[in-house]
Amino acid sequence: MDLNGKTIFITGGTGSFGKACIEALLQEHDPRVIRVFSRDELKQSELQARYAGEKRLRFFLGDVRDRNRIIGATRGVDLIVHAAALKQVPACEYNPFEAAQTNIVGAENVVAAAIANEVPRTLLLSTDKAVNPVNLYGATKLCAEKIVTQANALAADSLARFATVRYGNVVGSRGSVIPIFMAQADSGRITITDERMSRFWITLPQAIDFVLSRLPLMEGGEVFVPKIPSMRVREIAEAIAPDAERIVTGIRPGEKLSEVLLTEDESRHANELEDCYVIHPEFPLWRRDPYAQGVPVRDGFRYSSDTNPDQLTAEELRAMLPSLQPVP
């Protein structure tokens, strides 16, 4: 999908992904308009000041919980990137209805708006936490994935198509282990929940490139999973603070020892491409032909952070650290 001359709508547009995506779109493409949608007026005013004089940006205050507002804001849009979500695991556990309202009902509202306005492409951002979820955040994102996939059936007779991008932890994101370890390193002591723990890692620029590069591959209903490296927490600690004392605190509620991006059950209807896996819907009634891109994934395949052959070493991560800054 050529983004030049297109009108692009980004929910959660003042978040970490949204701001970086806006910058990439303005620098590497020539969209007609980017509509920045979020509920934080302060962050919007800061972003307006940062891009003072940029005529391709429009700022929309609103909440994805408000269907009418989303429908009105997406008229004439060519692409929706749905990045808005409540993401902090403890906050979602303590406020379950709020998490459901934003992450589940919000996804339903975005779908309804895209269908009402026949938006050609809608991409949902999801997470490895949605796979066999053990916390509410993951459960709400799993529901969002299902809503977005099935939206293609509701819109089968229209131009609107929907897909999902599912990836792992963003390097340096707020609350993740890397900035925590970096903050603790000077004290000579770092806290580790469990040294066996492993996670998938992706940088923010890589995530944006992957999201935008999936647009030409969309036929509707896919869950795109990038091939990305994993790393164990003990190697992260070694890379950031090799001489620090390690204090094991124990795994926290809602956490797993390892994360999964593609399950054995999903492998039965998944294809492998050079840079990703594509989980396609089992009953794509809106398609005329079977999904033909890539090769079928072998039955029983599981893409897990602990068995991922692409494991970052302490040296590889350490090489990234001089330029690594926490994602705002």
Q: Supply the residues annotated as catalytic.
A: 129
Of 108, 103, 105, nearest to 130 by C-alpha is: 103
Handedness of CA 162, 168, 172, 177 (dihedral sign): positive
CB-based contacts of 135, cutoff 8 Å, min separation 6 = 89, 92, 93, 129, 253, 254, 255
Beta strands in the chain (DSSP E): 7-11, 33-38, 57-61, 79-82, 121-127, 161-167, 169-170, 189-192, 198-202, 223-226, 230-232, 245-248, 260-262, 270-272, 276-279, 295-296, 303-304
Asked if 20 and 44 count as a contact pair (C-beta separation under 8 A), the reply is no
Cα–Cα distance measured from residue 126 to residue 147, given in angstroms and rounded to the nearest whole number:
12
Q: Contact at 8 Å (CB) between 207 and 147? A: no
- The token pair at 150 is 């099935």
Kindly list the distances between the CA atom of residue 136 and the CA atoms of 50, 88, 142, 201, in Å, as whole numbers in the listed order: 35, 10, 10, 21
Q: Are 9 and 22 in contact (CB under 8 A)?
A: no
CA angle 133, 124, 43 (to 5 degrees): 100
* Contact status, residue 42 vs residue 15, Cβ threshold 8 Å: no
Burial class (CB in 10 A: 0-12, 13-18, 19+), 186: exposed
Tokens of 8: 């692009």
